[in-house]
Structure 1
Amino acid sequence: MCRWLAYSGTPILLDTILYRPAHSLIDQSLHSRLGVETTNGDGFGVGWYSPDVDSPAVVRDTGPAWSNRNLREIADHVRSPLFFAHIRASTGTAVQQTNSHPFRYGRWMWMHNGAIADFHRVRRDLALSVDPTLFADIEGSTDSELMFRLALTFGLEDDPPGAVARMAGLVERTGHEHGVEFPLQMTVAVTDGEGLWAFRYSSQGESRSLYSSTEVRALRALHPDLAFLREVSDETRLVVSEPLGDLPGAWKKVPESSCTLVRPGADELLPFTPQLV
Protein backbone atom coordinates (compact mmCIF):
# COMPACT_ATOMS: atom_id res chain seq x y z
CA MET A 1 0.00 0.00 0.00
CA CYS A 2 1.87 3.17 1.16
CA ARG A 3 4.30 4.56 3.73
CA TRP A 4 4.15 7.95 5.40
CA LEU A 5 5.62 10.14 8.13
CA ALA A 6 4.42 13.18 10.04
CA TYR A 7 6.78 15.46 11.96
CA SER A 8 5.88 18.14 14.51
CA GLY A 9 8.32 20.12 16.64
CA THR A 10 11.43 22.25 16.33
CA PRO A 11 11.76 23.67 12.78
CA ILE A 12 14.16 21.47 10.79
CA LEU A 13 15.18 20.91 7.20
CA LEU A 14 13.07 18.33 5.39
CA ASP A 15 16.29 16.48 4.57
CA THR A 16 16.75 15.70 8.27
CA ILE A 17 13.79 13.35 8.39
CA LEU A 18 13.30 12.43 4.73
CA TYR A 19 16.81 11.36 3.66
CA ARG A 20 19.21 11.16 6.61
CA PRO A 21 17.74 8.38 8.81
CA ALA A 22 19.10 4.87 8.23
CA HIS A 23 15.66 3.58 7.24
CA SER A 24 14.34 6.88 5.88
CA LEU A 25 11.15 7.23 3.90
CA ILE A 26 13.32 7.31 0.77
CA ASP A 27 14.85 3.97 1.80
CA GLN A 28 11.35 2.64 2.52
CA SER A 29 10.26 3.58 -1.00
CA LEU A 30 12.59 0.77 -2.18
CA HIS A 31 12.96 -1.45 0.88
CA SER A 32 9.87 -1.30 3.09
CA ARG A 33 10.08 -3.82 5.92
CA LEU A 34 6.53 -3.68 7.29
CA GLY A 35 4.38 -2.68 4.32
CA VAL A 36 2.30 -4.92 2.10
CA GLU A 37 4.65 -4.06 -0.79
CA THR A 38 8.42 -3.77 -0.54
CA THR A 39 8.47 -1.05 -3.20
CA ASN A 40 6.42 2.15 -3.01
CA GLY A 41 7.04 3.90 -6.32
CA ASP A 42 3.64 5.07 -7.56
CA GLY A 43 4.10 8.71 -6.64
CA PHE A 44 5.02 10.79 -3.62
CA GLY A 45 4.17 14.04 -1.90
CA VAL A 46 5.40 16.38 0.81
CA GLY A 47 3.56 19.16 2.60
CA TRP A 48 4.71 21.77 5.09
CA TYR A 49 3.72 24.97 6.87
CA SER A 50 5.52 28.32 6.68
CA PRO A 51 5.17 31.37 8.96
CA ASP A 52 2.52 33.93 8.00
CA VAL A 53 1.01 31.69 5.30
CA ASP A 54 -2.56 30.49 5.84
CA SER A 55 -2.37 27.21 3.91
CA PRO A 56 0.37 24.57 3.69
CA ALA A 57 2.56 24.08 0.64
CA VAL A 58 2.09 20.73 -1.09
CA VAL A 59 4.41 19.23 -3.72
CA ARG A 60 3.35 15.98 -5.39
CA ASP A 61 4.53 13.90 -8.33
CA THR A 62 3.80 10.60 -10.04
CA GLY A 63 7.25 9.02 -10.17
CA PRO A 64 9.23 7.29 -7.42
CA ALA A 65 10.64 9.42 -4.63
CA TRP A 66 14.05 7.76 -4.68
CA SER A 67 15.07 9.29 -8.03
CA ASN A 68 13.32 12.67 -8.01
CA ARG A 69 15.85 15.51 -8.27
CA ASN A 70 13.30 18.19 -7.41
CA LEU A 71 12.45 16.46 -4.13
CA ARG A 72 16.15 16.22 -3.30
CA GLU A 73 16.51 19.96 -4.02
CA ILE A 74 13.51 20.90 -1.88
CA ALA A 75 14.68 18.76 1.04
CA ASP A 76 17.94 20.69 1.34
CA HIS A 77 16.25 24.11 1.48
CA VAL A 78 12.81 23.87 3.10
CA ARG A 79 12.63 24.27 6.88
CA SER A 80 9.39 23.86 8.84
CA PRO A 81 8.00 22.87 12.25
CA LEU A 82 5.50 20.49 10.64
CA PHE A 83 6.00 18.14 7.70
CA PHE A 84 3.89 15.47 6.02
CA ALA A 85 5.60 13.08 3.60
CA HIS A 86 4.03 10.15 1.73
CA ILE A 87 5.17 7.50 -0.74
CA ARG A 88 2.46 5.70 -2.66
CA ALA A 89 1.83 2.15 -3.75
CA SER A 90 -1.44 2.24 -5.67
CA THR A 91 -4.27 -0.08 -4.65
CA GLY A 92 -5.86 0.15 -8.09
CA THR A 93 -6.52 3.78 -8.91
CA ALA A 94 -4.45 5.60 -11.52
CA VAL A 95 -0.90 6.78 -10.98
CA GLN A 96 -1.40 10.50 -11.49
CA GLN A 97 -0.43 13.66 -9.64
CA THR A 98 -3.90 14.30 -8.25
CA ASN A 99 -3.86 10.85 -6.63
CA SER A 100 -0.62 11.46 -4.73
CA HIS A 101 -0.82 12.42 -1.06
CA PRO A 102 -1.01 14.57 1.01
CA PHE A 103 -4.34 16.17 0.15
CA ARG A 104 -5.06 19.75 1.16
CA TYR A 105 -8.13 21.82 2.04
CA GLY A 106 -7.59 25.29 3.49
CA ARG A 107 -5.21 24.85 6.43
CA TRP A 108 -5.78 21.10 6.56
CA MET A 109 -3.65 18.25 5.21
CA TRP A 110 -4.55 14.56 5.06
CA MET A 111 -2.70 11.39 4.10
CA HIS A 112 -3.63 7.72 4.29
CA ASN A 113 -2.24 4.22 4.09
CA GLY A 114 -4.73 1.44 3.51
CA ALA A 115 -7.83 1.00 1.39
CA ILE A 116 -11.59 0.93 1.21
CA ALA A 117 -12.26 -2.67 0.19
CA ASP A 118 -14.08 -3.12 -3.14
CA PHE A 119 -13.95 0.64 -3.61
CA HIS A 120 -15.40 0.40 -7.12
CA ARG A 121 -18.59 -1.07 -5.64
CA VAL A 122 -19.14 1.50 -2.89
CA ARG A 123 -17.61 4.62 -4.42
CA ARG A 124 -20.82 6.09 -5.83
CA ASP A 125 -22.79 5.72 -2.59
CA LEU A 126 -19.97 7.25 -0.56
CA ALA A 127 -19.52 10.13 -2.98
CA LEU A 128 -23.20 11.04 -2.67
CA SER A 129 -22.63 11.69 1.04
CA VAL A 130 -20.00 14.37 0.43
CA ASP A 131 -21.20 17.93 1.06
CA PRO A 132 -21.93 19.44 -2.40
CA THR A 133 -19.75 22.47 -1.57
CA LEU A 134 -16.80 20.09 -1.08
CA PHE A 135 -17.50 17.69 -3.91
CA ALA A 136 -16.47 20.02 -6.73
CA ASP A 137 -12.93 20.27 -5.35
CA ILE A 138 -12.24 16.53 -5.57
CA GLU A 139 -9.43 16.27 -8.12
CA GLY A 140 -8.41 12.61 -8.12
CA SER A 141 -9.96 9.17 -8.05
CA THR A 142 -8.62 7.64 -4.81
CA ASP A 143 -10.51 6.31 -1.84
CA SER A 144 -8.10 8.36 0.32
CA GLU A 145 -9.23 11.72 -1.06
CA LEU A 146 -12.87 10.73 -0.78
CA MET A 147 -12.31 9.76 2.87
CA PHE A 148 -10.85 13.25 3.45
CA ARG A 149 -13.87 14.95 1.88
CA LEU A 150 -16.22 12.79 3.94
CA ALA A 151 -14.36 13.68 7.13
CA LEU A 152 -14.63 17.38 6.20
CA THR A 153 -18.34 16.86 5.55
CA PHE A 154 -18.73 15.36 9.03
CA GLY A 155 -17.04 18.25 10.84
CA LEU A 156 -13.29 17.67 10.65
CA GLU A 157 -12.50 21.35 11.20
CA ASP A 158 -14.31 21.37 14.56
CA ASP A 159 -13.90 17.79 15.82
CA PRO A 160 -11.21 15.74 14.03
CA PRO A 161 -11.61 12.48 16.03
CA GLY A 162 -15.39 12.58 15.78
CA ALA A 163 -15.38 13.44 12.08
CA VAL A 164 -12.97 10.61 11.22
CA ALA A 165 -15.05 8.23 13.34
CA ARG A 166 -18.21 9.23 11.44
CA MET A 167 -16.39 8.83 8.12
CA ALA A 168 -15.23 5.34 9.14
CA GLY A 169 -18.73 4.45 10.30
CA LEU A 170 -20.23 5.44 6.95
CA VAL A 171 -17.58 3.46 5.04
CA GLU A 172 -18.26 0.35 7.12
CA ARG A 173 -22.05 0.65 6.89
CA THR A 174 -21.91 1.20 3.13
CA GLY A 175 -19.50 -1.67 2.65
CA HIS A 176 -21.68 -4.05 4.64
CA GLU A 177 -24.70 -3.00 2.57
CA HIS A 178 -22.75 -4.13 -0.50
CA GLY A 179 -21.69 -7.44 1.06
CA VAL A 180 -18.12 -6.40 1.91
CA GLU A 181 -17.02 -8.24 5.04
CA PHE A 182 -14.15 -5.96 6.09
CA PRO A 183 -14.70 -2.58 4.42
CA LEU A 184 -11.94 -0.40 5.86
CA GLN A 185 -8.18 -0.50 6.42
CA MET A 186 -6.49 2.73 7.45
CA THR A 187 -3.72 4.59 9.11
CA VAL A 188 -4.51 8.28 8.64
CA ALA A 189 -2.68 11.48 9.56
CA VAL A 190 -4.46 14.83 9.54
CA THR A 191 -3.34 18.28 10.69
CA ASP A 192 -4.37 21.93 10.69
CA GLY A 193 -0.78 23.08 11.21
CA GLU A 194 -1.12 23.11 14.99
CA GLY A 195 -2.52 19.78 16.15
CA LEU A 196 -1.59 16.47 14.53
CA TRP A 197 -3.98 13.53 14.73
CA ALA A 198 -3.01 9.99 13.68
CA PHE A 199 -5.48 7.09 13.49
CA ARG A 200 -4.91 3.34 13.30
CA TYR A 201 -7.98 1.23 12.54
CA SER A 202 -9.24 -1.62 10.38
CA SER A 203 -12.56 -3.46 10.22
CA GLN A 204 -10.71 -6.76 10.62
CA GLY A 205 -8.74 -5.61 13.65
CA GLU A 206 -5.41 -6.18 11.89
CA SER A 207 -4.37 -2.65 10.93
CA ARG A 208 -1.30 -1.58 9.00
CA SER A 209 1.75 -0.69 11.09
CA LEU A 210 2.00 2.70 12.81
CA TYR A 211 4.58 4.01 15.30
CA SER A 212 5.21 7.20 17.25
CA SER A 213 8.51 8.45 18.59
CA THR A 214 9.31 8.27 22.27
CA GLU A 215 9.29 11.51 24.26
CA VAL A 216 12.48 13.48 23.65
CA ARG A 217 13.32 13.78 27.36
CA ALA A 218 13.26 10.01 27.74
CA LEU A 219 15.40 9.57 24.63
CA ARG A 220 17.97 12.08 25.93
CA ALA A 221 18.29 10.01 29.08
CA LEU A 222 18.81 6.85 27.03
CA HIS A 223 21.15 8.42 24.47
CA PRO A 224 22.87 11.48 25.99
CA ASP A 225 25.53 11.61 23.25
CA LEU A 226 23.13 12.12 20.33
CA ALA A 227 23.46 15.73 19.14
CA PHE A 228 20.09 15.72 17.36
CA LEU A 229 18.26 15.15 20.64
CA ARG A 230 19.95 18.19 22.18
CA GLU A 231 18.86 20.37 19.26
CA VAL A 232 15.11 19.67 19.29
CA SER A 233 12.45 20.65 21.80
CA ASP A 234 10.73 18.36 24.25
CA GLU A 235 7.59 18.76 22.11
CA THR A 236 9.16 17.20 19.00
CA ARG A 237 7.43 14.05 17.74
CA LEU A 238 7.32 11.79 14.70
CA VAL A 239 4.49 9.47 13.67
CA VAL A 240 5.52 6.97 11.00
CA SER A 241 4.31 3.91 9.13
CA GLU A 242 7.50 2.15 10.17
CA PRO A 243 10.49 3.17 12.30
CA LEU A 244 13.16 5.28 10.63
CA GLY A 245 15.98 3.37 12.34
CA ASP A 246 16.90 0.88 15.03
CA LEU A 247 17.79 3.25 17.88
CA PRO A 248 16.85 1.39 21.08
CA GLY A 249 13.83 2.84 22.85
CA ALA A 250 13.08 5.35 20.10
CA TRP A 251 9.77 3.98 18.85
CA LYS A 252 6.51 2.71 20.28
CA LYS A 253 3.69 1.06 18.38
CA VAL A 254 0.44 3.00 18.13
CA PRO A 255 -2.20 0.61 19.54
CA GLU A 256 -4.89 -0.98 17.40
CA SER A 257 -8.11 1.07 17.13
CA SER A 258 -6.69 4.27 18.54
CA CYS A 259 -6.10 7.94 17.82
CA THR A 260 -2.98 9.77 18.96
CA LEU A 261 -2.95 13.55 19.23
CA VAL A 262 0.33 15.47 19.08
CA ARG A 263 0.20 19.16 20.04
CA PRO A 264 1.92 21.65 22.37
CA GLY A 265 1.45 20.40 25.90
CA ALA A 266 0.61 16.81 26.74
CA ASP A 267 0.01 14.32 23.95
CA GLU A 268 -3.13 12.21 24.07
CA LEU A 269 -3.88 8.62 23.15
CA LEU A 270 -7.59 7.93 22.68
CA PRO A 271 -9.58 4.83 21.72
CA PHE A 272 -11.06 4.98 18.24
CA THR A 273 -14.38 3.43 17.25
CA PRO A 274 -16.35 4.16 14.06
CA GLN A 275 -19.63 6.01 14.60
CA LEU A 276 -22.78 5.37 12.61
CA VAL A 277 -24.26 8.43 10.91
Structure 2
Amino acid sequence: MCRHLAYLGEPVALGDLIVRPPHALLRQAWAPRTQSSGVVNADGFGVGWYADGDPVPARYRRTGPIWGDLSFADLARVVRSGAFLGAVRGATLPGADGEAAAAPLASGPWLFSHNGAVPGWPGTLTPLASTLPAAELLELEARTDAALLWALVLHRLRAGRSPGDALAETVTAAAEAAPDARLNLLLTDGEQIAATAWGNSLWYLSGPGRVVVASEPYDDDPLWQEVPEQTLVTARPSDVTLIPLKEFTA
Protein backbone atom coordinates (compact mmCIF):
# COMPACT_ATOMS: atom_id res chain seq x y z
CA MET A 1 0.00 0.00 0.00
CA CYS A 2 0.95 3.66 -0.11
CA ARG A 3 -0.15 7.11 1.00
CA HIS A 4 -0.29 10.11 -1.33
CA LEU A 5 -1.30 13.75 -1.59
CA ALA A 6 -1.78 16.38 -4.30
CA TYR A 7 -1.99 20.14 -3.77
CA LEU A 8 -3.05 23.09 -5.94
CA GLY A 9 -3.08 26.69 -4.72
CA GLU A 10 -0.83 29.52 -3.69
CA PRO A 11 2.84 28.53 -3.50
CA VAL A 12 3.83 26.88 -0.23
CA ALA A 13 6.92 25.02 0.92
CA LEU A 14 6.67 21.31 0.16
CA GLY A 15 7.34 20.60 3.81
CA ASP A 16 4.29 22.62 4.88
CA LEU A 17 2.12 19.69 3.79
CA ILE A 18 4.46 16.71 3.48
CA VAL A 19 6.69 17.07 6.58
CA ARG A 20 5.46 19.55 9.18
CA PRO A 21 1.77 18.76 9.92
CA PRO A 22 1.15 16.33 12.80
CA HIS A 23 -0.11 13.60 10.45
CA ALA A 24 1.84 14.50 7.31
CA LEU A 25 3.12 11.94 4.82
CA LEU A 26 6.28 11.78 6.91
CA ARG A 27 4.27 10.29 9.78
CA GLN A 28 1.92 8.31 7.53
CA ALA A 29 4.98 6.42 6.30
CA TRP A 30 5.12 4.60 9.64
CA ALA A 31 1.83 5.39 11.42
CA PRO A 32 -1.07 5.90 8.98
CA ARG A 33 -4.45 6.48 10.59
CA THR A 34 -6.83 5.19 7.91
CA GLN A 35 -4.83 2.74 5.79
CA SER A 36 -6.79 -0.45 5.11
CA SER A 37 -3.82 -2.78 4.52
CA GLY A 38 -0.37 -2.66 6.08
CA VAL A 39 1.01 -0.09 8.48
CA VAL A 40 4.47 0.78 7.14
CA ASN A 41 5.23 2.62 3.90
CA ALA A 42 9.02 2.46 3.89
CA ASP A 43 9.75 1.14 0.38
CA GLY A 44 10.51 4.53 -1.14
CA PHE A 45 8.95 7.95 -1.51
CA GLY A 46 8.84 10.83 -3.93
CA VAL A 47 7.52 14.27 -4.70
CA GLY A 48 6.94 16.03 -8.00
CA TRP A 49 6.41 19.78 -8.23
CA TYR A 50 5.81 22.47 -10.82
CA ALA A 51 7.78 25.70 -11.29
CA ASP A 52 6.33 28.85 -12.79
CA GLY A 53 6.61 28.90 -16.58
CA ASP A 54 7.57 25.23 -16.92
CA PRO A 55 4.79 22.68 -17.54
CA VAL A 56 7.08 19.69 -16.93
CA PRO A 57 7.42 18.91 -13.21
CA ALA A 58 10.63 18.16 -11.36
CA ARG A 59 10.83 14.98 -9.30
CA TYR A 60 12.78 13.81 -6.26
CA ARG A 61 12.47 10.06 -5.57
CA ARG A 62 14.33 7.66 -3.32
CA THR A 63 14.19 3.95 -2.43
CA GLY A 64 14.40 4.30 1.34
CA PRO A 65 11.94 5.62 3.92
CA ILE A 66 11.13 9.32 3.86
CA TRP A 67 12.12 9.74 7.51
CA GLY A 68 15.70 8.69 6.76
CA ASP A 69 16.43 11.22 4.01
CA LEU A 70 17.93 14.38 5.52
CA SER A 71 18.46 15.87 2.06
CA PHE A 72 14.72 15.74 1.40
CA ALA A 73 13.98 17.41 4.73
CA ASP A 74 16.23 20.30 3.67
CA LEU A 75 14.78 20.45 0.16
CA ALA A 76 11.20 20.41 1.46
CA ARG A 77 11.99 23.31 3.77
CA VAL A 78 12.95 25.71 0.97
CA VAL A 79 11.31 24.53 -2.28
CA ARG A 80 7.98 26.28 -2.84
CA SER A 81 5.34 25.41 -5.39
CA GLY A 82 1.68 26.03 -6.14
CA ALA A 83 1.21 22.48 -7.43
CA PHE A 84 2.78 19.22 -6.28
CA LEU A 85 2.17 15.52 -5.66
CA GLY A 86 3.90 13.52 -2.94
CA ALA A 87 3.75 9.84 -2.01
CA VAL A 88 5.23 7.28 0.36
CA ARG A 89 5.38 3.67 -0.85
CA GLY A 90 4.56 0.29 0.61
CA ALA A 91 5.53 -2.15 -2.13
CA THR A 92 3.07 -4.75 -3.43
CA LEU A 93 6.04 -7.10 -3.92
CA PRO A 94 9.44 -6.64 -2.25
CA GLY A 95 12.45 -5.39 -4.17
CA ALA A 96 10.72 -4.31 -7.36
CA ASP A 97 12.81 -1.84 -9.37
CA GLY A 98 13.90 0.48 -6.59
CA GLU A 99 13.68 4.21 -7.20
CA ALA A 100 11.97 3.73 -10.57
CA ALA A 101 8.98 2.21 -8.76
CA ALA A 102 8.52 5.15 -6.39
CA ALA A 103 5.71 7.58 -7.11
CA PRO A 104 5.14 9.97 -8.61
CA LEU A 105 5.44 8.36 -12.02
CA ALA A 106 5.51 10.92 -14.80
CA SER A 107 5.15 11.74 -18.48
CA GLY A 108 5.15 15.24 -19.94
CA PRO A 109 3.06 17.46 -17.64
CA TRP A 110 1.52 14.55 -15.73
CA LEU A 111 2.28 13.16 -12.28
CA PHE A 112 0.66 9.90 -11.12
CA SER A 113 0.47 7.77 -8.00
CA HIS A 114 -1.25 4.50 -7.05
CA ASN A 115 -2.32 3.75 -3.49
CA GLY A 116 -3.31 0.09 -3.46
CA ALA A 117 -2.41 -3.30 -4.85
CA VAL A 118 -3.54 -5.71 -7.57
CA PRO A 119 -3.81 -9.30 -6.30
CA GLY A 120 -2.31 -11.86 -8.64
CA TRP A 121 -0.03 -9.32 -10.30
CA PRO A 122 1.11 -9.57 -13.03
CA GLY A 123 -1.13 -12.33 -14.32
CA THR A 124 -4.44 -10.68 -13.50
CA LEU A 125 -3.60 -7.59 -15.56
CA THR A 126 -2.01 -9.42 -18.51
CA PRO A 127 -5.20 -9.07 -20.63
CA LEU A 128 -5.16 -5.30 -20.08
CA ALA A 129 -1.44 -5.08 -20.83
CA SER A 130 -2.09 -6.78 -24.17
CA THR A 131 -4.32 -3.87 -25.21
CA LEU A 132 -1.38 -1.45 -25.11
CA PRO A 133 0.96 -0.85 -28.05
CA ALA A 134 4.36 -2.47 -27.60
CA ALA A 135 6.05 0.94 -27.62
CA GLU A 136 4.01 2.04 -24.60
CA LEU A 137 4.83 -1.14 -22.69
CA LEU A 138 8.51 -0.48 -23.32
CA GLU A 139 8.08 2.96 -21.72
CA LEU A 140 7.15 1.45 -18.34
CA GLU A 141 9.31 2.98 -15.61
CA ALA A 142 9.11 -0.15 -13.47
CA ARG A 143 7.77 -3.71 -13.45
CA THR A 144 5.00 -3.01 -10.95
CA ASP A 145 1.21 -2.96 -10.87
CA ALA A 146 1.31 0.83 -10.41
CA ALA A 147 3.48 1.33 -13.49
CA LEU A 148 1.12 -0.70 -15.66
CA LEU A 149 -1.90 1.14 -14.31
CA TRP A 150 -0.10 4.38 -15.18
CA ALA A 151 0.52 3.12 -18.72
CA LEU A 152 -3.19 2.36 -19.07
CA VAL A 153 -4.13 5.83 -17.81
CA LEU A 154 -1.55 7.54 -20.03
CA HIS A 155 -2.78 5.62 -23.08
CA ARG A 156 -6.24 7.07 -22.49
CA LEU A 157 -4.90 10.58 -21.92
CA ARG A 158 -2.99 10.42 -25.18
CA ALA A 159 -6.19 9.33 -26.90
CA GLY A 160 -7.88 12.53 -25.74
CA ARG A 161 -9.73 11.31 -22.67
CA SER A 162 -10.16 13.77 -19.81
CA PRO A 163 -8.15 13.09 -16.65
CA GLY A 164 -11.26 11.94 -14.80
CA ASP A 165 -12.40 9.65 -17.60
CA ALA A 166 -8.89 8.21 -17.99
CA LEU A 167 -8.75 7.26 -14.29
CA ALA A 168 -12.33 6.01 -14.09
CA GLU A 169 -12.06 3.81 -17.17
CA THR A 170 -8.75 2.35 -15.99
CA VAL A 171 -10.08 1.59 -12.52
CA THR A 172 -13.24 -0.09 -13.76
CA ALA A 173 -11.26 -2.20 -16.24
CA ALA A 174 -8.69 -3.21 -13.62
CA ALA A 175 -11.41 -4.02 -11.07
CA GLU A 176 -13.11 -6.26 -13.59
CA ALA A 177 -9.83 -8.09 -14.22
CA ALA A 178 -8.90 -8.26 -10.51
CA PRO A 179 -12.06 -7.84 -8.40
CA ASP A 180 -10.18 -7.57 -5.08
CA ALA A 181 -7.80 -4.88 -6.31
CA ARG A 182 -7.39 -1.66 -4.37
CA LEU A 183 -7.24 1.14 -6.89
CA ASN A 184 -6.86 4.60 -5.39
CA LEU A 185 -5.25 6.54 -8.25
CA LEU A 186 -4.06 10.16 -8.13
CA LEU A 187 -3.24 12.34 -11.15
CA THR A 188 -2.34 15.98 -11.75
CA ASP A 189 -0.95 18.21 -14.47
CA GLY A 190 -0.42 21.17 -12.15
CA GLU A 191 -3.76 22.71 -13.15
CA GLN A 192 -6.24 20.07 -11.99
CA ILE A 193 -6.37 16.94 -9.84
CA ALA A 194 -8.22 13.69 -10.52
CA ALA A 195 -8.38 10.82 -8.06
CA THR A 196 -10.29 7.64 -7.30
CA ALA A 197 -11.41 6.05 -4.04
CA TRP A 198 -11.49 2.28 -4.57
CA GLY A 199 -10.51 0.06 -1.69
CA ASN A 200 -8.84 2.60 0.58
CA SER A 201 -9.43 5.99 2.16
CA LEU A 202 -9.46 9.30 0.28
CA TRP A 203 -10.14 12.81 1.57
CA TYR A 204 -10.14 16.36 0.26
CA LEU A 205 -9.72 19.80 1.78
CA SER A 206 -10.78 22.89 -0.11
CA GLY A 207 -10.65 26.55 0.79
CA PRO A 208 -10.18 29.93 -0.78
CA GLY A 209 -7.78 29.44 -3.69
CA ARG A 210 -6.52 25.98 -2.78
CA VAL A 211 -7.42 22.30 -2.78
CA VAL A 212 -5.77 19.18 -1.37
CA VAL A 213 -6.68 15.58 -2.23
CA ALA A 214 -5.02 13.03 0.04
CA SER A 215 -5.15 9.45 1.27
CA GLU A 216 -5.88 10.80 4.72
CA PRO A 217 -5.93 14.18 6.51
CA TYR A 218 -2.55 15.54 7.52
CA ASP A 219 -4.11 17.46 10.42
CA ASP A 220 -7.38 17.70 12.35
CA ASP A 221 -8.94 20.54 10.39
CA PRO A 222 -12.74 19.94 10.57
CA LEU A 223 -13.10 21.01 6.93
CA TRP A 224 -11.61 17.75 5.65
CA GLN A 225 -14.23 15.75 3.73
CA GLU A 226 -14.07 11.98 3.23
CA VAL A 227 -14.69 10.71 -0.30
CA PRO A 228 -17.19 7.84 -0.54
CA GLU A 229 -15.93 4.45 -1.69
CA GLN A 230 -15.88 3.86 -5.47
CA THR A 231 -15.96 7.56 -6.31
CA LEU A 232 -14.09 9.73 -8.79
CA VAL A 233 -12.87 13.13 -7.58
CA THR A 234 -11.96 15.96 -9.93
CA ALA A 235 -10.68 19.14 -8.33
CA ARG A 236 -9.38 22.62 -8.99
CA PRO A 237 -8.87 25.38 -6.42
CA SER A 238 -12.27 26.74 -7.41
CA ASP A 239 -14.35 23.55 -7.20
CA VAL A 240 -14.45 19.85 -6.30
CA THR A 241 -16.71 17.32 -8.06
CA LEU A 242 -17.57 13.79 -6.90
CA ILE A 243 -18.97 11.20 -9.33
CA PRO A 244 -19.81 7.55 -8.49
CA LEU A 245 -17.58 5.24 -10.47
CA LYS A 246 -20.53 2.98 -11.23
CA GLU A 247 -21.47 5.58 -13.85
CA PHE A 248 -18.41 4.58 -15.90
CA THR A 249 -17.68 1.44 -17.87
CA ALA A 250 -14.28 0.09 -18.82
TM over 0.5: yes
Alignment of 1:82-121 (within 5 A): 82-95=83-96, 96-121=98-123
- In 1, the alpha carbon distance for the partners of 2:28 and 2:79 equals 21
- In 2, the alpha carbon distance for the partners of 1:55 and 1:242 equals 27
- Please report how far the alpha carbon of residue 209 of structure 1 lies from its aligned counterpart in structure 2 after TM superposition: 0.9
Aligned match of 1:169: 172
Structure 1 contact 169–274 (Cα < 8 Å) conserved: no
| SS, match of residue 273 in structure 1 | helix
Q: Normalization by structure 1: what TM-score?
A: 0.83
- Deviation track 1:92-136 (CA, whole Å, cap 9, x = no partner) reads 152401111010011011101011121132243332222334222
Aligned match of 2:235: 262
- Deviation track 1:138-193 (CA, whole Å, cap 9, x = no partner) reads 12011111111111222365312222222223323434xxxxxx242111110111
The gaps in structure 1 that reach 5 residues or longer are: 176-181, 202-206, 217-233
What is the aligned length?
Answer: 247
Aligned match of 1:209: 201
Aligned match of 2:6: 6
The gaps in structure 2 that reach 5 residues or longer are: none
Identity of aligned residues (%): 31
Structure 2 contact 171–183 (Cα < 8 Å) conserved: no
- In 2, the alpha carbon distance for the partners of 1:275 and 1:246 equals 33
Structure 2 contact 167–195 (Cα < 8 Å) conserved: no
Structure 2 contact 210–238 (Cα < 8 Å) conserved: no
User: Which has the larger share of strand?
Assistant: 2
Aligned match of 1:29: 29
RMSD over aligned CA atoms reads: 1.8
Aligned match of 1:220: none
Aligned match of 1:228: none
Query: Are positions 1:242 and 2:239 aligned together?
Result: no
Aligned match of 1:43: 44
Aligned match of 1:219: none
Structure 1 contact 5–238 (Cα < 8 Å) conserved: yes
- In 2, the alpha carbon distance for the partners of 1:261 and 1:159 equals 10
Q: Normalization by structure 2: what TM-score?
A: 0.92
- In 1, the alpha carbon distance for the partners of 2:46 and 2:247 equals 28
| SS, match of residue 76 in structure 1 | helix
